[in-house]
Structure 1
Amino acid sequence: MNKELLRRLPKVDELLNQEKIKKYLNITMRNIIVDSIRETICNYRNMIIKGRIDAFTNEDIINSVIMTIEEKDEFRLRKVINATGTVIHTNMGRSLLSKGAVERVIDVVENYNNLEYDINKGKRGLRYSHIEEIITKITGAEAAMVVNNNASAVMLVLSTLCYEKEAIVSRGQLVEIGGSFRVPEVMKLSGAKLVEVGTTNRTHLFDYENNISEDTGVLLKVHTSNYKILGFTEEVPLDELVELGKEHNIPVIEDIGSGVLVDFSKYGFAYEPTVQESIKKGVDVVTFSGDKMLGGPQAGIIVGKKKYIDKMKKNQLTRALRIDKMTLAALEGTLKYYLDEEEAIKNIPTLSMILADKDDIMKKAQKLKEMLEKSLRNYDFNISADFSMVGGGSMPTEKVDTYVIRIKSKKIATEKLEYLLRMNKIPIIVRVCNDEIILDLRTIFEKDFNTILDAFQNAESKL
C-alpha cells in the first residue's frame, strides 16, 4: 500500500473550493456535487489500496469529480436519436407525440384543470367524459373509455363480461406481446376461462360453434399484428363471427392491437384492419393501443356497445387501470387531428414518418452527408437505398423504402464506433450491417443533424 499517495488525497472542502468545481454550484444541487467528490475520493483510495495506481495529480481527481457530477446530474430517462429506421421503436418510447399533443399536456399540467369536475353542472364529473365523445365520433362506436394500456383494456373487458366464464379464441391468435407477456396469461388474470379452438394455422366457424355452451361468456378475436402466418391458413371472417355471436346472444370482442384509424392500403401498404371497420361489422367491443399506429400516448382504448362499456366503467378494476391527466391531454391532442385525415398524416409524427416521401428522405440524407463530409476526414460516407420498418408489433411483413447513409471509419473499428455513438451525451442509436454504421434518415430529424456531427467528432477525440 502506498501511504504517501493516501495522504495526498484531497479533502472534500478542498475540492469544493476548486474553481472548476465551484462553477457547478450554480447549475447543480450541492448534495450531488458533495456526493460526487466523496465517491471520487473513495474510488481513488480503493485503487491506491489495491495497487492499481501509483501516481495521480489534483487535476486527475478534479476531472473525475466533474465527470461524476455530470453523470449523476443526468436524468435516467432521456432523449436519444433513433437512427435505426424503425418508426414505432418499442425500446425507444414507441410513438412520438405531436406538437399539438405536447402543448395540451403542458397546458393541463401547469394549471389546475377539470379532470373530474363538470363545469356545466358545477359538480364532480367523470374523467372519461373528456375523451369519449371524440373517440366515438372518429370510430363510429356507441361508447368509449380509456385505461393505461391495451393489455389492461383486454383484462378489463374480460373481467367485466367473462369473469368465471369461457372465452373462446383461436389457437392461432394466442400471441405473445413485448416483454414475454402473453395473451393467455392476461386472460387468466381477468378471471376468464380460456377455450382454445382450431389449430395454429386454420380455424373454422364450426370450431367456435361446436364449443359454445351455457358457460360461454365471449367470442374473442385477437388480431395478430406482430406476426403473420402464411401458406395453408384460414381464419373466421369477422362478420361471420359477429353473426354467430348474435345468434347465440354472446358478445364478440376484438383485440385489434395497434389501433389503426387510417386505411394504409390507400397509400400503397398491405391492408391492415381499422377500428372503424370492426365497429361497422358489428363487433360488440374493440380494444387497441394509443401509442402504436394511432401515434399517441400509452393507453388502452375500449370502444363498442354502450351497455358493455357502462358495465366496465363500474368494474372495480377500472380504478386501478385508469389513466392520468397527462395521458388524457395527450390523447385528446392526438385524436383531434383524426377529425381530418390529412391533418393527422401531416401532424402526427408516426403517420408522417411512415408515409414520408422517398425524395424528401433522400434530400435529408444528402444534407446530412454533406455536413459530415465537410467536417470529418477519416470516414467514408455513402448513400444507398434500404428498408425501414414500422415496428411496435405493427405491419411485421411491411418493408418501407428508405435511404440510409453507410459509414465506415478509417481509424475506429465499427463496433467501437457504435459504442461511442451510443454513449454520446445524447445517445445515437444506429444499425450495424456489413461492418458499417447505418443511419436511416426516415427516423432522424434535421434538428438533430448537429448533434450527430458532434457525436462523430467526440468519438474521434476519444482515440
Structure 2
Amino acid sequence: MEKKQLLRKLPKIDELLKEEAVKVKLESTMRTMVIDSLRQSIDNYRELILKDSIEDFTKENILETFMEILEENSASKLRKVINATGVVIHTNLGRSLLAKKALENVITIADSYNNLEYDLKKGQRGSRYSHVEELIKKVTGAEAAMVVNNNAAAVMLALNTLCKDKEAIVSRGQLVEIGGSFRVPDVMSFSGAKLIEVGTTNRTHLYDYENNISENTGVLLKVHTSNFKILGFTEEVSVEELVELGRSKGIPFIEDIGSGTLVDFSKYGFTYEPTVQESIRKGVDAITFSGDKMLGGPQAGIIVGKKEYIDKMKKNQLTRALRIDKMTLAALEGTLKYYLEEKEAVENIPTLHMILSDKDLHKRRAQKLKRKLQSKVSGFDFTIEEDYSMVGGGSMPAEKIPTYVIKVKNSRFSPQDLEKKLRGNKVSIIIRVSNDEVIMDLRTLFDEDFDTIVNAFVNL
C-alpha cells in the first residue's frame, strides 16, 4: 500500500474512543491519559509509515500498541527493582532500604495530621528537630543534634555558620569528590568559607595545620575519605591532635564522617571505620554524617556536637531551606530507635543485616533459588559459586564481603543481551556482568524476589 494511503488510513482519536476496549480503560483511567496514549500510538504508526518501515496495519494493531503505551504511562516512573548486583548500598538503586519501624512511622505520619511543629504538652508551636534530637543525643552521646536534607547540606550549613568569610583548613588528601561530580571544595566554596589546603595528597602533618592558622581561620576541617583509600607512604593527623589544636587556638573543629557509622564494624571482622560515638568521645566540636548510608535510614544529613555550635546552626537562615520533611523525620526516628540496642540494629536494619549476615545463609538461599530455576527454566546453565559482595554508597571501598552467587549461561543470549532483557522485565532485575558472566548475588536479594526472577527467565 502506498505511503499516502497508509497515512489516510490512520484513525482519528474520536473514532478510537468509541472502541469497546478504549471505553473499558476510560472507566478506570483518567481521560487525559487515555487520549495521550492513543495519540502516541497513532504517532508511532505515522512515524513507521514515513520511514517506510511497515507495508500495512490494522486498527487492532493501533489498539494493541495503545494498551502497551497506556500501561507504561500509568506506571510510576519511580518503581521497584530487584537488586541482584551484590552492592548493598547501591546509590543508583536508592541506597539503604528502610527498616520495618521506619516504614510504619512513615505510613502513620503521611496518612494523618501530626505534631510536626506543635508542642502537645505546651499547646504551642514547637520545633520539628525535637522529635529526633533527644534520640540522636542518646545514641551518639552528643550534647546537641539537628538534621537537614543530606550530608552535603550538613557540611555546607556547618561551614556557613562557623566559617563564612573565613578560612577553613583541610588536608589536600581529603578533598574528595562524591557521587554526581559533587566535590568537597565546591561545597565549601558555596558555604562562603575560603578553602586553605595543607599538606600533600598522601602525607599531612600537624605542623601543616599549625603553620596555616591565622587571625582569619574559622575552622579546622577533617573529611573522612570513605570512598577511596591511599596506601603506602602515607600520614594523616589524628582526630585527637586536631581536637587539641583547635582547643589551644580557640578554633572549632568539624569532622565530616560521611557514611554515618554508628556500629564498630571491626567487631564483626571488617576493617575499622570511625564511628560517630568515638568522635564525640574524643571531643570533636561538630560532626556531620549521612542518614541513608551505613546508618541504614532515609536520606538526611545529621549534625551532632557541642551545643553552642549546633544552636548557632539552628538559627542560620539556611536551615529553613535545608530542612527535612515529616516523612523523613518519621523514617529517621524509626531507624534510630533500633540503635538503642546494637543487637536490634544489626538484626532489623536491612543495610546492617545484609552487610553482616553470614555467607552460609546465602549459600542455602542460592540453593533454593537454583532449585526453583531448574524446575521451571530450560536451556540455561545455573551454577552456584563463592564470590564477593560490596558495601557500596562510597563506604568501605576496599572491603569485600564473602557471599554466594548464581552464575547464568545460555547459548542463545550473550551476557549483555541477558542483562538487557532482565533489566527490561516488568519488575526490572539488575544483575552483574563480570568476566563475560551473568551473576546474581544472593546477599542483596530477598526470598520474595525468587518467583519474579524465575518468571522472568521463563518468559525470555
Q: Work out whether the TM-score is over 0.5.
A: yes
8 Å CA contact 1:148–1:298 kept in 2: the answer is yes
Which SS does the other structure have where 2:157 is aligned?
Answer: helix
TM-score w.r.t. the length of structure 1 is 0.97
Q: How big is the shift at 1:428?
A: 0.5
- Give the Cα–Cα distance (whole angstroms) in 1 for the partners of residues 85 and 452 of structure 2: 16
- Give the Cα–Cα distance (whole angstroms) in 2 for the partners of residues 3 and 203 of structure 1: 75
- Give the Cα–Cα distance (whole angstroms) in 2 for the partners of residues 146 and 346 of structure 1: 25
What residue number does 2:327 align with?
Answer: 326
What residue number does 1:372 align with?
Answer: 373
Q: Does 1:72 align with 2:56?
A: no
Q: How big is the shift at 1:410?
A: 2.6
- Give the Cα–Cα distance (whole angstroms) in 2 for the partners of residues 284 and 32 of structure 1: 54
Q: Which moved more, 1:407-416 or 1:134-143?
A: 407-416
Instruction: Name the count of aligned residue pairs.
Output: 459
Q: How big is the shift at 1:316?
A: 0.6
- Give the Cα–Cα distance (whole angstroms) in 1 for the partners of residues 5 and 190 of structure 2: 64
8 Å CA contact 1:295–1:350 kept in 2: the answer is yes
- Give the Cα–Cα distance (whole angstroms) in 1 for the partners of residues 435 and 155 of structure 2: 42
Q: How big is the shift at 1:60?
A: 1.6
What residue number does 2:294 align with?
Answer: 293
Which SS does the other structure have where 2:396 is aligned?
Answer: strand
Summarize the alignment of residues 32-431 of structure 1 with structure 2, pairs less than 5 Å apart: 32-431=33-432
Q: Give CA deviations for 1:375-399 in whole Å, capped at 9, x if unaligned.
A: 1111000000000000000000000
- Give the Cα–Cα distance (whole angstroms) in 2 for the partners of residues 124 and 380 of structure 1: 63
Q: Which amino acid aligns with 1:73?
A: S
Q: Which runs of 4+ in 1 moved over 6 A?
A: none
Q: How big is the shift at 1:43?
A: 2.1
- Give the Cα–Cα distance (whole angstroms) in 2 for the partners of residues 22 and 276 of structure 1: 62
Q: How big is the shift at 1:55?
A: 1.1
Q: How big is the shift at 1:20?
A: 3.7
Q: Which amino acid aligns with 1:89?
A: H
Q: How big is the shift at 1:34?
A: 1.4
8 Å CA contact 1:380–1:410 kept in 2: the answer is no
**Alpha carbon RMSD of aligned pairs, Å?**
1.2
What residue number does 1:439 align with?
Answer: 440
- Give the Cα–Cα distance (whole angstroms) in 2 for the partners of residues 371 and 198 of structure 1: 57
Q: Give CA deviations for 1:221-246 in whole Å, capped at 9, x if unaligned.
A: 10000000000000011111111111
- Give the Cα–Cα distance (whole angstroms) in 1 for the partners of residues 195 and 47 of structure 2: 58
TM-score w.r.t. the length of structure 2 is 0.98
Q: Which amino acid aligns with 2:364?
A: K
What residue number does 2:455 align with?
Answer: 454
Structure 2 runs not aligned, ≥5 long: none
State, as a whole percentage, how many aligned pairs show the same letter: 69
Q: How big is the shift at 1:413?
A: 2.3
Q: How big is the shift at 1:77?
A: 0.8
Which SS does the other structure have where 1:395 is aligned?
Answer: coil
Q: Give CA deviations for 1:268-297 in whole Å, capped at 9, x if unaligned.
A: 000000000000000000000000000000
8 Å CA contact 1:264–1:271 kept in 2: the answer is yes
Q: Which amino acid aligns with 1:282?
A: G
- Give the Cα–Cα distance (whole angstroms) in 2 for the partners of residues 47 and 387 of structure 1: 47
- Give the Cα–Cα distance (whole angstroms) in 2 for the partners of residues 397 and 245 of structure 1: 31
Q: Which amino acid aligns with 1:79?
A: K
- Give the Cα–Cα distance (whole angstroms) in 1 for the partners of residues 165 and 50 of structure 2: 64
- Give the Cα–Cα distance (whole angstroms) in 1 for the partners of residues 17 and 34 of structure 2: 8
